[in-house]
A and B are shown apart, each in its own frame.
Chain A
Amino acid sequence: MSTLQVIWFLLIGILLTGYAILDGFDLGLGAWHLFAKKNEHRRVLLNAVGPVWDGNEVWLLTGGGAIFAAFPPVYASVFSGFYLALILVLLGLIFRAVSIEFRHQVDDDRWRRLWDLAFSLGSLLPALLFGVALGNVVRGLQLDAAGNYVGGFLALLNPYALLVGLTGLAMFATHGALFAVLKSEGELQQQARGWVGQAWLAYLVLFLASTGWSLAAFQRGSPVLPAIASALALAAIVGIKLFAGRSAHGKAFLSSALAMVGIFGAVGATLFPDMVPAANDPALSLTVYNSSSSQNTLTVMLILALVGMPIVLGYTIWIYRLFRGKVVLGEESY
């Protein structure tokens, strides 16, 4: 049973990392969207993510469903505890989703500007708030005996969580800018290279600050694994710059994905075996062992995941290959 619980902790980590890597580039690209000046450039950006963003977002929905299925008390405590923050994330995701479809429907500048704004803010908000939420979990929450969060909304806006939020935003912004470089040419690509440089610097500084703070203040167990994973992340972040400097943006993008693996690894290793540490009393923490579903449910879900996910990966890879290469605006483009 305890093996199953650990496996599910890892699987949820994999789902969330997969989400960060995949939806991360379209969130990050969305955050840059308003900085692209020409309509044609904005269209290239939208068409770069158009065919794939919906599938990317399913990683989040599946992650949410998997947390519900495997660790119901975590799902209940975190989402009711982060109520307002989550509502804002959802608003962002709603606007982002419809903007992509709505923007190209009416040939009018004001109409396009409206949905550009909605797309960009709708991307920026979740890209920032995911990190704020994660920072609060790492830091630990005020929980009562039933596992309810009792700290109030303002306590979530603490300096550490905000720092992690900004780190996440810089991470997504770097990732999205790299994707924009990969999918564009000419003037837009030049501009996107500039975005990579700016975002990367912020990413590096913020990563060092938040990692230092995490390692110094929030290690409840041995800091060895978190430190190793953070070092891997740091190497990968440096790798982004090296590859981007040699115009190997494909490799830089993979390096950025690897950095996310390192960061999520560090977060997981810091938390384990807690999923939601209670800051007020460690005995109230929601752990992998006291918050999981039954053995039966975890087993059935594991079988579902092992059968289903390879198929999902198979057709996802096929679709990414189908749309590989630079965006060329044509008749069927948005």
Chain B
Amino acid sequence: MEPVILARVQFALTIGFHYLFPPLTIGMSWIIVWMLWRRLRSNEAIYGTMARFWIRVFAISFAIGVATGIPMEFQFGTNWADYSRFVGDIFGAPLAAEGILAFFLESAFLGVLLFGEKRVSRRVYWFSGLMVAVGSTLSGFWIIVANSWQQTPAGYTIVNGRAELTDFFAAVFNPSTIQRYLHTIDGALITGAIFIMGLSAFYLLRGRHREFAERSLKMSLIVGLLAALAQLPLGHLHAVQVAETQPAKLAAFEGLWETQDNAPLLLFGIPDAETERTDYAVSLPGLLSIGVGGSSDAVVQGLKDFPREDRPPLLLTFGSFHLMVALGMYFIALTLLGLFLLWREKLYHSKLFLRLCLLSIPLPFIANELGWIAAEVGRQPWIVQGLMRTSDAVSTSVPAGQILFSILLFSAIYALLFFVWIFLLRRKLKHGPDEAQEVPA
């Protein structure tokens, strides 16, 4: 196989696995901070029990997130040497900034969160949790900066065959950074919330740890509801930005072939790259133009506007985008149902809803992965939109056999880590929170 295909497989594998964890821990960390805050304010023992249990669950996931994040820092050099030479002047800075401004913060205070509860006051303990949440959320910012620059490069000039920085702030706040960041962090909140909702529902279904589970469910439901609803405007903003800055990607998202005004919003269809048609299309006329352009007169570019070699792989981009949107709608429906049940005071007893919560745990993870696929595959054939093709970016000095070897090695280890993660989560869940060990301060 060609090195570029192998390198892409390896990148997709390592980031795809890594990306299961940071959204979960970012989302969970904010809910934990809220629990620690309520303990500080109300002095009720139950919040200590809640925080302690969720911190332990968080820790297992965080460890895998950290471990699988380490290869990401070096992988551009190992597998994408020509890319690194071309963009290093700009792309390296956010990675270094992530370390200095974010990763140190979250890692240092994580030590306090996991080992230091008895050594610090409750206020400092809460503050340590806050710093972990802030650090990991900022960490995400710099990674999104780096990725957004690949999508919508700005603040650079091409000198001596490489991109050189001309304006740091223009590069950091390039046209897609803010939209992508808010969309991603909101996705993380949904992930953390539905995770806690699902595990709390498990206890309620079995009638164990009722008070713990009821309060955990309620708090995570509130976070989940707000985050799921916020995804409507945030996702919309992101889509508008894609339409403006990466029209080929948007056309692939929507399976739109002809450049047109009154462009339809596709509800269902199967686009065919060979025949350049979208079959079985069910669409709402004009809505795409209104959605991304503000009026039905707005012209939306179709795929036929782009030479075939500049179009992204169609089915994967299209499919992942639509499935992600569908899951986003489902999260709104689920959390609204939860709100309704809360209002009717049936939340903790509705077996149907509790089962739904439990079964929904994997869905935000899937949505995150689909979003990543839509964003990254939709950018192809470019590694930096319009500037460098993925096929020109790979390390030329690494033999294909070595890449294949490392793919097999990473696959085996990540499979092992995944099973251990599930195994330990199930054990934690079975064991449950240690109640009533808290002495009110």
Determine if A280 is an interface residue (Cβ-Cβ < 8 Å).
no
In the complex, whether B78 has a CB less than 8 A from a CB of chain A is: yes
**Most chain-B Cβ atoms within 10 A of its Cβ — which of A97, A101, A305?**
A101
| Supplied contacts A69-B93, A79-B77, A315-B108, 14 more A-B pairs, CB within 8 Å | A57-B70, A62-B103, A64-B95, A68-B91, A75-B88, A80-B77, A83-B78, A95-B67, A97-B63, A105-B428, A293-B88, A301-B96, A304-B97, A315-B109
- Cβ-closest chain B residue relative to A96: B67
Q: Report yes or no: A332 in contact with B117, Cβ–Cβ below 8 A.
A: yes
Bound-state CA distance A61–B92 (Å) is 12
Contact A94:B424 (CB < 8 A) given known A68-B88, A83-B402:
no
Residues in B with CB closer than 8 Å to A95 are 67, 413
Is residue A161 contacting chain B, with contact meaning CB distance below 8 A?
no
Q: How far is the CA of A300 from the CA of B164 in the complex (A)?
A: 13
Known contacts A80-B398, A97-B70, A296-B165: does B424 contact A105 (CB below 8 Å)? yes
User: What's the Cα separation between A57 and B166 when bound, in Å?
Assistant: 32
State which residues 77-96 of A face B: CB under 8 Å.
77-81, 83-84, 86-87, 90-91, 93-95
In the complex, the answer to whether B111 meets A62 with C-beta atoms within 8 Å is no
The reply to whether the CB of B295 lies closer than 8 angstroms to some CB of chain A is no
A36 proximity list for chain B (CB < 8 A): none
Chain A min CB distance to B149 (Å): 13
The complex places the Cα of A294 from the Cα of B405 at a distance, in Å, of: 36
| Known contacts A51-B112, A68-B76, A148-B81; is-contact A61 B103 (Cβ 8 Å) | yes
* Given A68-B76, A97-B67, A91-B413 contact (CB < 8 Å): yes
With beta carbons under 8 angstroms apart, the residue of A73, A149, A323 that contacts B115 is A323
How many angstroms between the C-alpha atoms of A84 and B407 in the bound complex?
Answer: 11
Q: Which of A65, A94, A150 has the largest number of chain B CB atoms within 10 A?
A: A65
Q: Let me know if A294 and B164 touch, CB within 8 A.
A: yes
Across the interface, which residues of B come within 8 angstroms of A301, CB to CB? 93, 96-97
Check: A197 CB closer than 8 A to any chain B CB: no
CA distance A333 to B118 in the complex (A): 11
Of A52, A72, A315, A319, the contact of B88 (CB 8 Å cutoff) = A72
Q: Is the CB of B77 within 8 A of A47?
A: no
Cβ contact within 8 Å between A300 and B168: yes
Known: A87-B406, A297-B164. A58 touches B107 (CB 8 A): yes
Tell whether, in the assembled complex, residue B395 and residue A105 are in contact, meaning their CB atoms are under 8 Å apart: no
Within 8 A of A (CB), among B58-82: 59-60, 62-64, 66-71, 73-74, 76-79, 81-82
Question: A54 and B66: CB pair below 8 A?
Answer: yes
Digitize B27-66: 1 where CB-to-A-CB distance is under 8 Å, 0 elsewhere: 0000000000000000000000000000000011011101
Which residues of chain A are within 8 angstroms of B114 by Cβ–Cβ distance?
50-51
Check B99–A80 contact: CB distance below 8 A.
no
Task: Give 8 CB contacts A-B under 8 Å.
Answer: A94-B67, A94-B413, A102-B63, A105-B428, A301-B93, A308-B100, A315-B105, A315-B108
Cα A50 to Cα B113 with chains together (Å): 11
Which of B81, B89, B120, B417 is within 8 Å of A79, CB to CB? B81
- Give chain B residues whose Cβ lies under 8 Å from the Cβ of A97: 63, 66-67, 70
B288 within 8 A of A: no
Contact partners of B168 in chain A: CB under 8 A: 296, 300
A66-B96, A69-B96, A87-B406 as given contacts; A52 in contact with B101, CB under 8 Å: no
A105 to B56, CA, bound (A): 10
Answer yes or no: A128 CB below 8 A from chain B CBs. no
Is B130 interfacial (CB-CB < 8 Å)? no
A330 within 8 A of B: yes
| Chain A nearest CB, measured from B58 CB (Å) | 11
Q: Does B19 contact A (CB under 8 A)?
A: no
CB proximity to B under 8 Å, residues A24-66 = 47, 50-52, 54-55, 57-58, 60-62, 64-66
A97–B101 Cα distance when bound, in Å, is 22
